[in-house]
Amino acid sequence: MTERVGFSFGRIVTIAANTFIESLRQKVYNILLVFALVVIASASFFSQFTFSEQLKFVKDFCLGAISVFGTLIAIVGTAQLLPAELENRTIYTILAKPVRRGEFLLGKYLGSLWLVFLSVVVMSVMFGAALYFKENRLVAETRLDRNLSAEEAATTVTRIHREARDGDLVKGVALTFVKLCLLAAITLLFSTVSTSMVFNVAMGFMAFLAGHLRGAVVEILGEGRVIRGLLTVIPDLGAFNVADDIILGNAIPWEHCAHVALYGVAYTAVVVTVAYLVFADREI
């Protein structure tokens, strides 16, 4: 008779920690992160424009870089989790122990999310530094500008501070992270049916594109309930793009952020559950 073991959060955390450390050692991850940091740092070198334009460029490029490199890290980092375990045959050793498949899968997913979270935090810190650097430079240039009166200079400095120190940018980064969690979950789902990492990465990017194109498809095919119902299988990733509007100074109510976050979390939960159901039946 097979002994059933209970669901253990401790085992999930152990697997997650192990996955996280393994991923951190990957050269691909480190190269991607270094690239991301270089791109973000270089965003502050735009000049020859008005201060509003310069600050807009820095914010757009940095948040765009966080989204691009975060997507790369989430998809590539998650796509190799199961294929690597199968190729190295370490999955047999782990599942031979009293570890449930659900715990294994969830642990792997959480480990990947920690990696994505760490990357987003590191990139956001760099973004903050780039913005701070740009703000200080613009303020210094304004104070040195002899064409401006004291009043004009003071007003411009106030405007630079106000545009640079926008607390709503945190909302944009947070929703980007939720989107990355969802993309990682979708990639995990593909990796439960395929043993090829390349296939998983390709499908992850397909999902990314399909998710962004969904809005355009609805525009073309119309708002019919049947079309909408069919398309619901693909998440609308465009809904997470509030960063553009934050940068433009539009009001971003917490309520809207909460709805978008709820949408992402609900999707992620269902996708991870489906991944578990597929993985539980899979022959290894």
| Residues in touch with other proteins (CB under 8 A) | 46, 48-50, 52-53, 56-57, 59-61, 63-64, 67-68, 151-152, 154-155, 158-159, 162, 208-209, 212-213, 215-216, 219, 225, 228-230, 232-233, 236-239, 241-245, 247-253, 255-256, 259-260, 262-263, 266-267, 270, 273-274, 277-278, 280-281
Smaller CB separation from other proteins, 85 or 163: 163
Question: Exposure of 90 by Cβ count < 10 A (0-12 exposed, 13-18 middle, 19+ buried)?
Answer: exposed
Smaller CB separation from other proteins, 21 or 258: 258
Amino acid at 1: M
Least gap, CB of 98 to other proteins (angstroms): 22
Q: How far apart are CA 197 and CA 279, in angstroms?
A: 16
Which tokens in the block code for residue 204?
Answer: 């992850």
Smaller CB separation from other proteins, 47 or 196: 47
Least gap, CB of 158 to other proteins (angstroms): 4
Smaller CB separation from other proteins, 20 or 276: 276
- Which SS3 state, helix, strand or coil, does residue 88 take? helix
Q: Are 191 and 83 in contact (CB under 8 A)?
A: yes
Q: Are 184 and 203 in contact (CB under 8 A)?
A: no
Smaller CB separation from other proteins, 71 or 78: 71
Which tokens in the block code for residue 273?
Answer: 């559950």
- Which SS3 state, helix, strand or coil, does residue 25 take? coil
Least gap, CB of 124 to other proteins (angstroms): 17
Least gap, CB of 195 to other proteins (angstroms): 20
DSSP 8-state secondary structure symbol assigned to residue 248: T
Q: How far apart are CA 183 and CA 49, in angstroms?
A: 36
Sign of CA dihedral 93, 95, 98, 99: positive
Least gap, CB of 22 to other proteins (angstroms): 29
C-beta neighbour count of 9 within 10 angstroms = 10
Least gap, CB of 181 to other proteins (angstroms): 16
Least gap, CB of 119 to other proteins (angstroms): 18
Q: Are 137 and 49 in contact (CB under 8 A)?
A: no
Q: How far apart are CA 173 and CA 176, in angstroms?
A: 5
Main-chain dihedrals φ then ψ at residue 100, nearest 5 degrees:
-75, 155
Smaller CB separation from other proteins, 158 or 195: 158
